[in-house]
Chains A and B, each alone.
Chain A
Amino acid sequence: MEKIRITGLQKIFQSAGQEIHALQDINLSIAEVEFVCLLGPSGCGKSTLLNAIAGFIEASAGEVVVDGRIVDAPGPDRGVVFQEYALFPWMTVGKNVAFGLEIKGLSRGDIDERVNALLHTLNLWEFRDRFPKDLSGGMKQRVAIARVLAIDSPIMLMDEPFGALDALTRRSLQDELLRIRREFCKTIIFVTHSIEEAIYLADRIVVMTYRPGTIKFEQQVAMPHPRDPAGAEFNELKRILGGLVMEEHERHARDEMRGEG
Chain B
Amino acid sequence: MFQVRAIVRGTAVPLLTLLLWEGICRAGLVSAIILPAPSAVVLRWIEWLLSGELLVDTLGSLTRVSLGFLLGAGLALPLGLFMGASPKVYDYFNPLVQVLRPIPPIAWIPMSILWFGLGNPPAIFLIAIGAFFPVLMNTIAGVRNVDGIYLRAARNLGAGSSVIFRRVILPAATPYIFAGMRIGIGTAFIVVIVSEMIAVNNGLGYRILEAREYMWSDKIIAGMITIGLLGLAIDIGMNAINNHLLRWHRGMDS
Contacts and interface: CB of A to CB of B under 8 A. Distances in A.
Interface string B148-163: 0110111111111001
B171 interface: yes
A78 B153 CA distance: 11
A131 B250 CA distance: 10
A92 B159 CA distance: 18
A254 interface: no
A151 interface: yes
Contacts of B163: 103
Interface string A55-90: 010000000000000000111101110101011111
B198 interface: no
Given A131-B248, A133-B248, A133-B250, A74 B156 contact: yes
Contacts of B158: 75-76, 100, 103-104, 151
B248 A100 contact: no
Given A54-B156, A78-B156, A147-B157, A86 B249 contact: no
Nearest to B168: A88
B199 interface: no
B156 A76 contact: yes
B157 A76 contact: yes
B247 interface: yes
A6 to B, nearest CB: 19
B156 A75 contact: yes
B109 interface: no
Interface in A103-126: 103-104
Q: Which of A75, A84, A88, A92 has the largest number of chain B CB atoms within 10 A?
A: A88
A contact patch SS? loop
Given A90-B171, A99-B157, A151-B158, A80 B250 contact: no
A86 B163 CA distance: 17
B46 to A, nearest CB: 47
Nearest to A91: B248
B contact patch SS? helix
B174 interface: yes
B172 interface: yes
A65 B247 CA distance: 43
A107 to B, nearest CB: 17
Nearest to B246: A90
B150 A74 contact: no
A191 to B, nearest CB: 15
Contacts of A151: 157-158
B168 to A, nearest CB: 7
Interface string A38-58: 000000000000000010100
A112 to B, nearest CB: 18
A88 B150 contact: yes
A82 B158 CA distance: 16
Interface of B: 149-150, 152-160, 163, 167-168, 171-172, 174, 247-250
17 contacts: A56-B155, A74-B156, A76-B156, A76-B157, A78-B156, A82-B152, A82-B153, A86-B149, A89-B249, A90-B174, A91-B248, A99-B154, A103-B157, A103-B160, A104-B158, A133-B248, A151-B158
Interface of A: 54, 56, 73-76, 78-80, 82, 84, 86-92, 99-100, 103-104, 131-133, 147, 151
Given A76-B158, A86-B150, A88-B154, 15 more contacts: A56-B156, A75-B156, A76-B156, A76-B157, A80-B153, A88-B171, A89-B250, A99-B154, A103-B157, A103-B158, A103-B159, A131-B248, A132-B248, A133-B249, A151-B158
